[in-house]
Amino acid sequence: MTTAAPDVPVPTVRRTLRGFPELAAEVRDRAPAPAWLAGAREDATSFFAEVGLPGSKDEEWRFTSLQGLAAASFAPPRSPAVVDRTTVAPFLIEHDRWPRLVLVDGRVDLTLSHLPDIAGVTWGSLADAIGGGNALVEQHLFQTVPVEANAFTAINAALFVDGAFLRVAPGVVVSDPLQILHVTTTGATNSVVAPRMLLLVEPGASATVVETFAFAGGGHAAGAHPYLLDVCAEVVVGAGARLEHIRVQRDATSAWHVGFTGVTQDRDSHYRAFTLALGGRLSRHDLHARLGAPHVETLLYGLYLGQNEQLVDNHTVIYHDHPDCNSWEVYKGVLTDRAHGVFNGKVIVQPAAQKTDAKQTNRNLLLSDTARVDTKPQLEIFADDVRCTHGATIGKLDEQQRFYLRTRGIAGHEAQVMLISAFVSEVLVEIEQPRIRSALQQLVHGEMHALIR
Amino acid sequence: MALLEITDLHATAGDTEILKGISLSVDAGQVHAIMGPNGSGKSTLAQVIAGHPAYTVTRGSVTFDGKDLLDMEAEERAHAGVFLAFQYPVEIPGVTNAYFLRSSYNAIRKARGLEELDPIDFLDLLEQRLQVVEWGPEIMERAVNFGFSGGEKKRNEILQMAVLEPRLAVLDETDSGLDIDALRVVAKGVNALRRPDSATLLVTHYQRLLDYIVPDKVHVLAGGRIVKSGGKELAHQLEARGYEWLTG
């Protein structure tokens, strides 16, 4: 027996982001926008005022508590702390060679950027592209990451003042990877940084993009510098185009990092993502890929390392709307102390999407008894001639392997490093660009030592 | 003094006593074969010598080169020169054979206070040792035992042994499941590594391996005890008569 719910609205307490109205007002005053953008900001502001921060009853945020964020207060940012080339070099790969777009506290800094002329490549400040009346921006912005996708996409839409715009013209093959570095400084402490990115890879083009998020206020263990980095990236991969998209999150361990990447792919395109999450007290990344035409290939690889009280959450959604598409997804995590990992992988196969080949894997290695993982595959399949599989594991270091190593003289710290390296290498080797692969292998190797007690 | 001296060794796995008083003495330069039916405790003996944590020694002693082996961790035994060739070699996806072998080789050198070998010098050493098992260098870039056939896994154990040059090698049923070619290669490896200052313990169910590796002594294990010891002719008797006449 169930009782019919009474038809009266249940009063719920909307948890808001303290300081949000002031931040939104400040952005309106400081960064004037064309009418279409001003309208979006208004929509975003009222949408967020209506929904507030998600709570634990929200299925998408069931395991990821935002209590800490709701308790914090945010104010408009101060001027960024001084950042020079030596500050940013460690966060870049081939810092003296590859082109780069550097943003400091959410705004492009042209003195730190290196934007050589590359035939067929247009990139730079998103604010400049908007100010210059670039029609592509108006056409594409908020399409793959809608204002109202969730509370945080609305916050971003209301608060972004700059970001990155990239367009690779049809048929252009860009050989050097394009790096977009987001540096957050102590100027953003107790504030919100909300950059937005629009990446357009036109038909037949090919590129590699590295997005890095880093804190420039000292090392990993830098004191309390709470800030919210709320970032949206909109990615359009045209017919026959190819994009390798690397995302490296190295925010301060006192920061909240919430990101949403929306991808839409046209026929015969290839999108390959690698998502690395290292920093943040709370790190959440949504990656939604829409396979919007037949013969699309989508590869999503992810790796997360967590220690202390870190919470690292990855939500992915793959929309198979058309026939003959493949998606392949592998996320791996290594967690110690009281760290908490969350993985939710949704694959939606529509009736028209026959001959879909989709595989999803999430594997977790727990190095302590108090680390924890909530992993949830969600396959929603409405077509009958498909191959869709998923698998999730949560385990400790293998005792047989440990003994085998000990009989070969390898024990303790060294044995753990070897076995954890082996575990993470399965996804790291999937980075196609060799120089990026080796740089991230090195980065992960260094971080891994911090996890071994 | 014997290189390996086992005296009245008792060992349990959980509540079950598996080894019930084994005494055995192996001199440097010797090869001893441990034979016996399934479930006799052969593999347990090999694992106890290597220091597997699943087994508890309840009585007796094991002395290696004058040192109390039972007082040492598994890795310390490896550093001291004890090597176990596993009956079921463990797969380690994501770690290449080359990296694994070099790490092992250098871990042992480091524990002995020796300088680690750099990758180039190690490669030279490896090239020589690969010849022992008749392998080309391509095997070194494959992950340790991952996707290896049964024969390849056993051969890989012999390669590790050839690189590490142990003073006591314990081969746990290295011959089981091998075709005649693989068996020949394994035997060749063991024979090539025979030295006056080292010893080998061959744990085997069949006499077949002993056609290629001639043991100095043969011990028959049954019910957790050595029920008969003899020379190499004992192996032939076992081949002809089976184990029943010894185990009742």
Amino acid B237 reads Q
Tokens of A23: 């931040």
C-beta atoms of A418 and B103 within 8 A: yes
Is residue B176 predicted with pLDDT exceeding 90?
Answer: no
Question: B180-192 and B119-132 are packed helices; what angle lies between their axes, rounded to 10 degrees?
Answer: 120
Report chain B residues whose CB lies below 8 A from the CB of A423.
Answer: 94
Per-residue CA distances from A38 to A131, A152, A158, B42 (Å): 13, 18, 9, 80
Count Cβ neighbours within 10 Å for each residue of B16-41 and write b for 16 or more, e otherwise.
ebbbbebebebebebbbbbbbbeebb
Report chain B residues whose CB lies below 8 A from the CB of A422.
Answer: 92-95, 143
- Using CB atoms, which residue from A401, A409, A424 is nearest to B75? A409
Q: In what order do the strands lie in the sheet with B217-222?
A: B82-85, B168-172, B199-204, B31-35, B217-222, B225-230
How much is the pLDDT for A2? 45
Q: Label the pairing between strands A196-201 and A228-237.
A: parallel
Are residues B44 and B172 in contact, defined by beta-carbon separation less than 8 angstroms?
Answer: no
Is residue B143 predicted with pLDDT exceeding 50?
Answer: yes
When mean pLDDT is compared across A85-94, A144-153, A365-374, B181-190, the lowest value belongs to B181-190
- Using CB atoms, which residue from A400, A406, A414 is nearest to B78? A406
When mean pLDDT is compared across A220-229, A325-334, B56-65, B119-128, the lowest value belongs to A220-229
Range A57-66 contact pairs with CB under 8 angstroms and sequence separation of 24 or more = A60/A150, A60/A315, A60/A344, A62/A374, A63/A313, A63/A340, A63/A342, A63/A374, A64/A282, A64/A284, A64/A311, A64/A313, A64/A342, A65/A311, A66/A15, A66/A282
- The nearest alpha carbon in chain B to A400 belongs to B90
How much is the pLDDT for B248? 60
- Using CB atoms, which residue from B94, B95, B104 is nearest to A409? B104
Q: Which residues contact B15 (CB under 8 A, 6 or more apart)?
A: none
- The nearest alpha carbon in chain A to B90 belongs to A401
Amino acid B99 reads Y
Q: Label the pairing between strands A256-265 and B199-204.
A: unpaired
How much is the pLDDT for B245? 85
C-beta atoms of A423 and B83 within 8 A: no
When mean pLDDT is compared across A181-185, A218-222, B43-47, the lowest value belongs to A218-222
Report chain B residues whose CB lies below 8 A from the CB of A400.
Answer: 90
Tokens of A369: 């008894």
- Using CB atoms, which residue from A404, A411, A421 is nearest to B94? A421
C-beta atoms of A418 and B95 within 8 A: yes
Report chain B residues whose CB lies below 8 A from the CB of A395.
Answer: none
Distance from CA of B45 to the nearest CA of A (A): 15
Would you give the DSSP letter of residue A187? G
B225 exposed, middle or buried (CB, 10 Å; 0-12, 13-18, 19+)?
Answer: middle
Q: What is the pLDDT of residues A332-352, one digit of tens each?
A: 999 999 999 999 999 999 999
Q: SS3 sequence, A72-126?
A: CECCCCCCCCCCCHHHHHHHCCCCCCCCEEEEECCEECCCCCECCCCCCEEEEEH
- The nearest alpha carbon in chain A to B170 belongs to A407
CA A339 – CA A366 distance, rounded (Å): 9
- The nearest alpha carbon in chain A to B111 belongs to A409
Q: What is the pTM of this model?
A: 0.90
CA A264 – CA A255 distance, rounded (Å): 29
Report chain A residues whose CB lies below 8 A from the CB of B141.
Answer: none
Degrees, nearest 5: CA angle B177-B181-B183: 50
C-beta atoms of B75 and A406 within 8 A: yes
**What are residue B211's phi and psi, to 5 degrees?**
-70, -25
Are residues B207 and B176 in contact, defined by beta-carbon separation less than 8 angstroms?
Answer: no
Q: What is the pLDDT of residues B197-231, one digit of tens each?
A: 999 999 998 888 898 999 999 999 999 999 999 99
Are residues B77 and B51 in contact, defined by beta-carbon separation less than 8 angstroms?
Answer: yes
Report chain A residues whose CB lies below 8 A from the CB of B78.
Answer: 406-409
- Using CB atoms, which residue from A409, A419, A422 is nearest to B108? A409
C-beta atoms of A401 and B103 within 8 A: no
* pLDDT band (50, 70, 90) for residue A8: low
Is residue A6 predicted with pLDDT exceeding 80?
Answer: no
Report chain A residues whose CB lies below 8 A from the CB of B84.
Answer: 407
Beta-carbon pairs below 8 A across chains A and B? 71
C-beta atoms of B94 and A411 within 8 A: no
Tokens of A15: 């948890």
C-beta atoms of B103 and A406 within 8 A: no
Q: What is the pLDDT of residues A88-115, one digit of tens each?
A: 999 999 988 999 999 999 999 999 999 9
Amino acid A328 reads W
CA A38 – CA A36 distance, rounded (Å): 6
Q: What is the pLDDT of residues A252-311, one digit of tens each?
A: 999 999 999 999 999 999 999 999 999 999 999 999 999 999 999 999 999 999 999 999
Q: Which residues contact A332 (CB under 8 A, 6 or more apart)?
A: A302, A303, A304, A362, A363, A364, A365, A423, A424, A426, A427
CA A90 – CA A107 distance, rounded (Å): 20
- E strand or H helix at B46: helix B42-50
How much is the pLDDT for A1? 42
Best mutation site among A334, A363, A398, A406 for testing chain B: the one with the most B CBs within 10 Å? A406
Are residues A31 and A161 in contact, defined by beta-carbon separation less than 8 angstroms?
Answer: yes
* pLDDT band (50, 70, 90) for residue B236: confident
Tokens of A248: 């490296």
Is residue A4 predicted with pLDDT exceeding 60?
Answer: no
CA A188 – CA A182 distance, rounded (Å): 12
Tokens of A34: 């064309």
- The nearest alpha carbon in chain B to A397 belongs to B92
Residues A238-247 have a mean pLDDT of: 98
Question: A412-428 and A434-451 are packed helices; what angle lies between their axes, rounded to 10 degrees?
Answer: 140
C-beta atoms of B84 and A425 within 8 A: no
Distance from CA of A445 to the nearest CA of B (A): 14
At B169 the three-state DSSP class reads strand
The contact set of B with A (CB < 8 A) is 50-53, 73-75, 77-79, 83-84, 86, 89-90, 92-95, 100, 103-104, 107-108, 111, 143, 160, 164
Taking alpha carbons only, the member of B50, B61, B63 closest to residue B4 is B63
Report chain A residues whose CB lies below 8 A from the CB of B95.
Answer: 418-419, 421-422
Q: Which residues contact A175 (CB under 8 A, 6 or more apart)?
A: none
Q: Label the pairing between strands B168-172 and A256-265.
A: unpaired
Taking alpha carbons only, the member of A343, A344, A345 closest to residue A319 is A345
Report chain B residues whose CB lies below 8 A from the CB of A404.
Answer: 86, 89-90, 92
**What are residue B187's phi and psi, to 5 degrees?**
-65, -40
C-beta atoms of A421 and B90 within 8 A: no
What's the whole-number average pLDDT of chain B? 94
Is residue B114 predicted with pLDDT exceeding 90?
Answer: yes
Residues B34-48 have a mean pLDDT of: 94
C-beta atoms of A410 and B104 within 8 A: yes
Taking alpha carbons only, the member of B81, B54, B93, B88 closest to residue B157 is B88
Dmax (CA) for chain B in angstroms is 57
Residues B29-58 have a mean pLDDT of: 95
How much is the pLDDT for B247? 73
Distance from CA of B49 to the nearest CA of A (A): 10
Report chain B residues whose CB lies below 8 A from the CB of A414.
Answer: 103, 107
C-beta atoms of A421 and B95 within 8 A: yes
* pLDDT band (50, 70, 90) for residue A219: low
- HSE, side-chain direction, 13 A CA sphere, residue B95: 23
Distance from CA of A251 to the nearest CA of B (A): 28
Amino acid A214 reads A
Taking alpha carbons only, the member of A273, A240, A201 closest to residue A431 is A273
Per-residue CA distances from A240 to A172, A176, A430, B85, B186 (Å): 12, 20, 21, 52, 53
Q: Which residues contact A303 (CB under 8 A, 6 or more apart)?
A: A274, A275, A276, A277, A331, A332, A333, A424, A427, A428, A444
CA B230 – CA B208 distance, rounded (Å): 17
- Using CB atoms, which residue from B73, B89, B95 is nearest to A411? B73
